[in-house]
Amino acid sequence: MTAYKDLSKEELLQIKSGLEAEYERFKSAGMKLDMSRGKPSTEQLNLSMGMMDVLNSGSDLVCKEGVDCRNYGVLDGIEEAKKLFADMMEVPSDNIIIFGNSSLNVMFDTVARSMTHGVMGSTPWCKLDKVKFLCPVPGYDRHFAITEYFGIEMINIPMTPDGPDMDLVEHYVNNDPAVKGIWCVPKYSNPQGITYSYETVHRFAKLKPAAEDFRIYWDNAYGIHHLYEDKQDYLLEIFQACKAEGNPHMVYKFASTSKISFPGSGISVIAASHSNLNDIRKQMRIQTIGHDKLNQLRHARYFKNIHGMVEHMKLHADIIRPKFDAVLTALDSELSGLEIGSWIAPRGGYFISFDAMEGCAKAIVAKAKEAGLSMTNAGATFPYGKDPRDSNIRIAPTYPTLDELKEAVKLFIICVKLVSIDKILETKE
Amino acid sequence: MTAYKDLSKEELLQIKSGLEAEYERFKSAGMKLDMSRGKPSTEQLNLSMGMMDVLNSGSDLVCKEGVDCRNYGVLDGIEEAKKLFADMMEVPSDNIIIFGNSSLNVMFDTVARSMTHGVMGSTPWCKLDKVKFLCPVPGYDRHFAITEYFGIEMINIPMTPDGPDMDLVEHYVNNDPAVKGIWCVPKYSNPQGITYSYETVHRFAKLKPAAEDFRIYWDNAYGIHHLYEDKQDYLLEIFQACKAEGNPHMVYKFASTSKISFPGSGISVIAASHSNLNDIRKQMRIQTIGHDKLNQLRHARYFKNIHGMVEHMKLHADIIRPKFDAVLTALDSELSGLEIGSWIAPRGGYFISFDAMEGCAKAIVAKAKEAGLSMTNAGATFPYGKDPRDSNIRIAPTYPTLDELKEAVKLFIICVKLVSIDKILETKE
């Protein structure tokens, strides 16, 4: 196919006219589809329905510690759940704390605690003139929302195919004591599906932070969320790597079962060094008497062990793989060679990241919306919602049915083409 | 019975010798009982076992909003749960937000948010030189722990049989802009079981706070936790009272089902004005995607409505009433007239508050502990764990079996007598 930029004005106008007719057909068909968030589909939720029967009125509800899970007690998680999630997070059981249903909540509280009480004895951030976080971009909007909420200055770090630009990360972390953290989704990243390379993780582990209270906020949200059995990404385990490099306290690892069991009723976990966990417990025992242990027991008994969880994830993959394939196939066949967009085929996670021509993302998303397709706001994948190139669009293929998705992608591609043609036409006038 | 203080040294020594023999018998019997916290007993937990069967793999898990409760969505609580808890809290449905399993967590977060972001636009407390809270005493140790954790200065306000000393409350709140809050357990208070009188609540509603961000932290933890059907306390509903007095934003009401369904897996709620709730939602939508909706649905379907909840509470009362009666009967028959302690017979709640002779509480609790009975630490019912009179002891009768409890109270009474005799003997030397 010829790149659009190499077509004449007349050729472009002719293509545009055909696309506009197609667009109008979509618009009049009255599609109404929300593809804005990374939500599991109903079919995926149904995979975990057995969990609703694991505990019933005939169940023994006493956990391994001998505590009745219905009652108060056990601040930081029951033993059987710790074992399961420790295996999932590739750390020892005594390096994790279990929380409620939302790892976002755990990350928020981690930053909030640092604001009011500092990190392992450091000055509370609210007493400092300036606190900064590094934000690999494109990234997860809800991470950026937390740091924005607390008035933390965010610095964009471009992503490479191997993870964040580590030259920049080292430059900032090792020299600026105001840099207190970096948001990372290290595996099947949100939205690009990139897994940090061994070298990237090693360079993280070898950082020499100017700030003693610098931490890596390692949100391994998609750690076992592979799409293919035969091609999977591997991520170096950072907790051990940091320890080996003499930085045992430098990382907080976060994870949850939101996209394993139920998004609304899962379990979230933090993994960190004992000193970090003790620091967290100091707050935790003031904040709560304990999180929902019945739900911990429910998860532990349902999955039994990490193998049960891995098998379960294969069933998820079977449902979402065709959806990713449908999007990628359509992008390949419709856009390859046109030079109006690029994308990465991920091996796991929940998103496909699309980079439109500079200055086109907002217009594409608006055009899709006008015809009934809600996508993640353009810009959302950048701090402050500002994509400096107005280029990145996050595609979330999991929630719609395969048929809906195919229609949605058709519409999306029409929008990409239309907006790109207008952009190119500007330069030809 | 003759008051101990009116007995001669010899008479006291004779009594003491008998008590010491009894104490040694207890000690050698090897009792091991934890009466330190207000925990429901296993028998009480069993009352809610039907809740484990309400939702199963055959259930329709869609809430009234049409949202699948398993998935993401619905930030501030599903409609059917809001209805149930609004009735429980005596406010309209749209004046409540539903959270996770712990109202303590909600209170903590409320103070934490005020520290970093202020209240409805006011200066964040962490930017102020001094923030103060009023603490009716004796009160709930976990309240005081939150304010202590955030470095908030706590001011003791003595409790009267009608609630906190309102002259003092008015004095502080209406004159000192550093006073930002007051912790209240207004019904069947922890630990005294006192219910604030109509006049007290009216005086609360009529406060004219010097600080615009002053709030009443109204922890109605025992709102429907009556002991008797025929004698119940009535509490004026403060949210409406504040509104009527032109102070619509002055109160946060907190409650939970921790002592209705399961302490570890209940539902917590806040009730407040729309402006307050909007202020809270601003944080909430950064902090989480939403709390556990399946557990909300489970509670709503199990209790059906407030009447179901009220009937359920009668079953709780049937279990704990004999326990309260056993403690009160023993105190009455063994201590009346000795003038070595006083207590209040509550009509609900989870505690009996015992006031020993000044300077005796710590010694009594230590003596009980030595013989295997763990009680709440003396002093715990005061800010900073410091009871200025070293007098108040919290008795938590719900968790032990009736037989265990009877033994525990016998031991407690022996300890009270022994320590009191020693105290009186000091004055007779």
pLDDT along chain A (429 residues), means of 10: 94 97 95 90 97 97 96 96 97 98 97 98 97 98 98 98 98 98 98 98 98 98 96 97 98 98 97 98 96 98 98 98 98 97 97 98 98 95 97 96 96 98 91
Select from A39, A124, A149 the Cβ nearest to the Cβ of B71: A39
CA dist., res. A121 & res. A132, Å (int)? 19
With beta carbons under 8 A apart, name residues in chain B contacting A126.
115-116, 124, 126-127
pLDDT given at position B396: 96
Peptide bond into A191 cis (omega under 30): yes
pLDDT given at position B289: 94
Q: What is the pTM of this model?
A: 0.97
Q: B15-56, pLDDT tens digit by residue?
A: 999 999 999 999 999 889 888 889 999 999 999 999 999 999
Q: Do B112 and A108 touch (CB under 8 A)?
A: no
Q: Cα Rg for chain A, rounded, in angstroms? A: 23
Task: For residue A160, give the nearest of A212, A103, A199 by alpha carbon.
Answer: A199
Q: Do B50 and A57 touch (CB under 8 A)?
A: yes
CA B254-B376-B387 angle, to 5 degrees, is 85
CA dist., res. A309 & res. A305, Å (int)? 7
User: Hunting for tokens 């996670």 — which residue is that?
Assistant: A349
Rounded (10°) CA dihedral B370, B371, B374, B379: -50
Select from B69, B264, B287 the Cβ nearest to the Cβ of A105: B287
pLDDT given at position A428: 84
CA dist., res. B241 & res. B273, Å (int)? 12
The dihedral region occupied by A285, where left means phi > 0, alpha psi between -120 and 50, and beta the remainder, is alpha
The answer to whether B330 and B406 have CB atoms below 8 angstroms apart is yes
- The residues with which A355 forms a beta bridge, in sequence order, are A342, A392
Q: Do A150 and B55 touch (CB under 8 A)?
A: no
Rounded (10°) CA dihedral A136, A137, A141, A146: 30
CA dist., res. A320 & res. B111, Å (int)? 42
Question: How confident is the prediction along chain B (429 residues), in pLDDT tens digits per residue?
Answer: 899 999 999 999 999 999 999 999 999 998 898 888 899 999 999 999 999 999 999 999 999 999 999 999 999 999 999 999 999 999 999 999 999 999 999 999 999 999 999 999 999 999 999 999 999 999 999 999 999 999 999 999 999 999 999 999 999 999 999 999 999 999 999 999 999 999 999 999 999 999 999 999 999 999 999 999 999 999 999 999 999 999 999 999 999 999 999 999 999 999 999 999 999 999 999 999 999 999 999 999 999 999 999 999 999 999 999 999 999 999 999 999 999 999 999 999 999 999 999 999 999 999 999 999 999 999 999 999 999 999 999 999 999 999 999 999 999 999 999 999 999 999 987
Buried b (16+ CB within 10 A) or exposed e, B183-219: bbbbbbbbbbbbbbbeebbbbbbbbebebebbbbbbb
Q: B276-318, pLDDT tens digit by residue?
A: 999 999 999 999 999 999 999 999 999 999 999 999 999 999 9
Q: What number of C-beta contacts closer than 8 Å exist between A and B? A: 160
Q: Residue A111 is which amino acid?
A: V
CA dist., res. A87 & res. A305, Å (int)? 8
Q: Where are the alpha helices (DSSP H) in A9-156?
A: 9-29, 42-47, 51-54, 79-89, 103-117, 141-149
CA dist., res. B135 & res. B161, Å (int)? 16
Q: What is the complex's ipTM, to 2 decimals?
A: 0.96
Q: Do A286 and B149 touch (CB under 8 A)?
A: yes
Taking CA–CA distances from B73, the nearest residue in chain A reads: A264
